[in-house]
Amino acid sequence: MLDVVDLHRRFGGVTALSGVSIAVRQGSITALIGPNGAGKTTAFATIAGFHRPDRGQMRFLGRDITGWRPERIARLGLVRTFQIVQPFGRLSVRDNIAVGAHLHLARRASALTEAEAVARRLGLAADLDKPADTLPIAGRKRLELARALATRPRMLLLDEVMAGLNPAEVAALMPVIREIRDGGVTLLMIEHVMQAVAELAERCIVLAEGRVIATGTVAEVARDPVVVDAYLGEGAAARLADHHAA
């Protein structure tokens, strides 16, 4: 469904992505993980058209989307959320979600109805008339997701929707995400909350220093010494192995 090949992106002298390839199968939940500064959010921003790649190719639904503007990519059905939530602050929750729904609904009334339905799905029904700015962080994360979902995307790029949530909120959001996938939306998610990754993702892609260092099931990558080193520092995997042996 999404095929990213050999993506490169530099910011001045800093190389954020050097040859990242990601393939996501239709109907799957894939997690993109890696230590801070690995280039995960840059990868998302580039795939969604917010950064132009220096090199590499991106295909979505069989079309070459390399160099497309973000709004065009979104209209094709590939929609991102933001790690740092970006609500339309002074608009109500209802109006926020309706902006997403307007992507396929021209009539105001239909978009507002759809917004309400999406809000109910995501547990935001009680907050519909509140200004987005007044929601607590968990609410704003849900709003970010609701707005993206209201566009009726084919695929969502979820950037740390679990971050900043307490364990109860994480537990409440997990079935929602599974439901979205069951509704036919393919998901690629950046996530640090490992409980969520382990329970949701069928496949894991590990990014470190702008490169993909491992792919596989969560169990496979967690055992991979390269991955352990990337998180805990060079040689950590070996030291851990010694420690367990002793």
Partner 1 sequence: MTRWGARAGPPLLLMLGALPFAFPSGFVLTTATLLLLTAILGQSWNILGGYGGQSSFGHALFYGTGAFTTALLQVRFGWNAWVAAAAAIGAGTLVGAAAGALVFRQGLRGSYFALVTLAFAEIARVLVASFDITGGGFGLLVPLHRGAASFQFSDPRLPYWIAWTVVLAGVLLTIGIERSRFGARLAAVRENEDAARALGIAPVQVKTVCTAISAGLAATAGVLYLQIFLFIDAANGFGVGVSVQALLAPILGGLATPWGALLGALALRLMAEMVHAVAGGLAGIDLALFGVILILILRFAPGGIAGIRLRRDA
- Find the part of the chain contacting partner 1 (CB under 8 A) among 52-60, 106-114, 205-213, 225-233: 106-114
186 binds partner 1 (CB under 8 A): no
Give the whole-angstrom CA distance, residue 163 versus residue 144.
13
Our CB check for partner 1 shows the closer of 144 and 229 to be 144
3-state secondary structure the chain: CEEEEEEEEEECCEEEEEEEEEEECCCCEEEEECCCCCCHHHHHHHHCCCCCCCEEEEEECCEECCCCCHHHHHHHCEEECCCCCCCCCCCEHHHHHHHHHCCCCCCHHHHHHHHHHHHHHCCCHHHCCCEHHHCCHHHHHHHHHHHHHHCCCCEEEEECCCCCCCHHHHHHHHHHHHHHHHCCCEEEEECCCHHHHHHHCCEEEEEECCEEEEEECHHHHHHCHHHHHHHHCCCHHHHHHHHHHC
For partner 1, the closer of residues 92 and 215 by Cβ is 92
The pairing of strands 186-190 and 155-159 is: parallel
Residue 244 is a binding residue for partner 1 (CB under 8 A): no
Instruction: Count other C-beta atoms under 10 Å from residue 81's C-beta.
Output: 24
Our finding on whether 88 is near partner 1 (CB under 8 A) is yes
Q: Which is nearer to partner 1, 65 or 218 (CB)?
A: 65
Q: Which of 107, 129, 167, 234 binds partner 1 (CB under 8 A)?
A: 107
Nearest distance in Å: CB 151, partner 1: 6
Under the binding rule (CB under 8 A), the answer on residue 180 touching partner 1 is no
95 binds partner 1 (CB under 8 A): yes
Which of 24, 31, 58, 74 touches partner 1 (CB under 8 A)? 74
Which position among 26, 86, 166, 217 is part of the footprint of partner 1 (CB under 8 A)? Answer: 86
Q: Which is nearer to partner 1, 133 or 179 (CB)?
A: 133
CA gap 56, 30 in Å, rounded:
21
Q: Does 63 bind partner 1 (CB under 8 A)?
A: no
Binding mask 135-174 for partner 1 (x = CB under 8 A): ------------xx--x-----------------------
**Would you count residue 87 as binding partner 1 (CB under 8 A)?**
yes
Q: Which of 46, 82, 122, 124 binds partner 1 (CB under 8 A)?
A: 82
Distance CA 208, CA 198 (A): 19
61 sits near partner 1 (criterion: CB under 8 A): no
The residues of the shown chain that bind partner 1, judged by CB under 8 A, are 48, 50, 69-71, 74-75, 79-82, 86-91, 95, 98-100, 102-103, 105-108, 111, 147-148, 151
